[in-house]
Each structure stands twice: as C-alpha cells, then as structure tokens.
Amino acid sequence: MNKSELLKRYCSRLVAMERRSILTKDAYRFEISIFLDFLNEKEISLENTDASFLCEYIDMRREKNKIDSRSVAKAISALRSFYRFALDERLVKNNPAELLESPKRKTYLPEVLDKESVELLLSQIETETPQGCRDKCMFELIYSAGLRISEAASLNLKDIDITSGIAKVLGKGNKERIVLFGKEAKILLNQYIKISRPKLAGTVNKTGALFINRRGTRISRKGIWKNYAKYAALAGFSSHVHTLRHSFATSLLAGGADLRIIQELLGHTDLSTTQIYTHVETSMLKKNHSAFLPKLKKEQV
C-alpha cells in the first residue's frame, strides 16, 4: 500500500469510526504524512518500528521543526491513532506508540481584551462596504457569543434566530450547542443579512452560509483570521481572533456568571478547561493591585 492510499484509508477511519472532527483529521493526516516520510528516509518498514524509533522521530520533530510540548502531545496522539489503524489492517503486530509518554502541557493564561479594547478594535472596521459590514457583524458575534473561529465560519443562515438572540453552532467533535448573543449583534446581523450579504452573494445565492466572501461562497477560517489581524493591527493590538472568545468568558466571570453556565456557553466538555478563566481573573486583580498600590510594591523586602 503506497503512502497516498494509506493516508486515504486512515483518514476515512478517523472520520467514520473514530468520529474525529475535520480539523483533527487534517492535523493527524499532516502528522502521519511527516512520519511516513521519515520512515522512507530511514528505509525502515512500518512493521519493524518500535518505541525507540518513535522516540527518534519525536526528537527529530523537536529539533528540526521546533515543536513545543503541546505539538509533541498532538504528534504522539496521532501516532497512537495511526498504529491502532495499522493493527486493524494487520500492517503491524503491536502498537509501540502506546509506550510513549505525552509531555506535561504548560498552562498558559489566555490573552484577553477589556470591553473598551474590543470596542476600539471594532471601531477600526469601515462599514461602508459589504465586506466591512460583514466583518463588524462577524467579530461582534464572535465576541458576543464566545464563538470559536471554526464555529463562526460554519454558521448557516438557518442557524440564526435574530429575534430571540439565539444561534445553533457546531462545536468540537461535531457537538451542537445553543449560544446567545446581545443587542448590538442583533442590529449588525439585521443590517448584514438584509443589505450587505445580498451584495456579496450576487444574483445567484450559491450557499446557505451566514458569512460569505466576495465570491459569494462561505468565508474560510483563514479569511477570518487575516481580516481580524488587519483590524487588530490598526487598533494597536497583536491579538488573535480567539482572544475575543477569551474576553467573552472573562467578562462573564467578572460579571458574576456561574462557571458551569460559562462552560455550557463555551461548549467545554470538561469544567477544568473553563477554570482557566478564574486564573485570568486573579491575574487581572494582581495587575490592578500593583497599579493602584505601587507603594506596597516598593516596600516589599
């Protein structure tokens, strides 16, 4: 079985049997493609690999590709999945990837913007053009509902109920959830759907996607990322789109929202993932404490 056929069958398994998301499938395909090239380079067949060889591969990824601990963990996860597939296909007799230990992931506090900073960023968007109207609507909705970039890109017109301020989104693992959005998002959605979207769609409505590009087709995640980066630079920030989601969660927590409600709105499977925002709140408290009580800082021994 050649590399192309092997990857095709493996990816089919990821989607059909393991129920992995498209993003995970693409990430694992990329990783296993590199691994198969490494096998070819070392002139070693898959059935002759062992845990020691896999460690050599991971070391290569660290040194050559400069991947961090999070990417190492993802690479190991992909290898474990691929060897399970290889076992079922009788390409190997055991799964050496199960012997690999994933590195402990470093915990990073997410970057957040306060309300004034979000407003400054959104004010950079000129709404005279259909694209500008779309972008302001899109980023307001991402912030107001705490959406992931992939969730915003996959939204369809039928998923939005403007009157109720409710949207149905498809999150990680193809799990659907209901999100809420505010008054400003409602106003912008009305303007975009009634005026700007028809101009982008042209004479033929090519898609049911909510957010579309100038060709009338669904806007890509890359397109959203590039547009956000442009506006963030104009506002003097170096943040990413995901910062809006973090800012949404932190604002809710600061306002007294229950952590489990925030978990539900964000679509987190595990509450521990949501708890990172409690650390952000503590960090912000310490920052303000130092700013407003500088004398205490100077007097510390």
Selecting among 13, 84, 186, 268, the annotated active-site residue is 268
Answer whether residue 248 shows pLDDT above 80: yes
Question: Is residue 13 flagged as an active site residue?
Answer: no
Question: Is residue 64 flagged as an active site residue?
Answer: no
Selecting among 13, 148, 197, 246, the annotated active-site residue is 148
What pLDDT score does 91 carry?
92
Question: Is residue 242 flagged as an active site residue?
Answer: yes
What pLDDT score does 16 carry?
86
176: helix, strand or coil: strand
pLDDT, tens digit (0-9, with 9 covering 90-100), for 233-245: 999 988 889 899 8
**More reliable by pLDDT, 277 or 72:** 72
Question: Is residue 279 flagged as an active site residue?
Answer: no
Average pLDDT over residues 247-261: 84
For residue 267, give the DSSP letter. Answer: T
Q: Please name the residue ranges forming H helices in the chain.
A: 3-16, 22-42, 51-65, 69-88, 115-122, 130-145, 149-154, 183-191, 197-201, 221-235, 242-254, 259-266, 271-274, 276-292, 294-299
Decide: pTM greater than 0.85.
no
Selecting among 172, 199, 221, 240, the annotated active-site residue is 172
Question: Is residue 80 flagged as an active site residue?
Answer: no
Answer whether residue 256 shows pLDDT above 90: no
Question: Is residue 172 flagged as an active site residue?
Answer: yes
pLDDT, tens digit (0-9, with 9 covering 90-100), for 45-92: 999 999 999 999 999 999 998 888 888 989 999 999 999 999 999 999
**More reliable by pLDDT, 282 or 137:** 137
Selecting among 222, 245, 289, 297, the annotated active-site residue is 245
What pLDDT score does 41 carry?
93
pLDDT band at 249 (very low <50, low <70, confident <90, very high): confident
Q: Which positions ≥6 away from 248 have C-beta within 8 Å? A: 143, 144, 145, 146
Average pLDDT over residues 256-284: 77
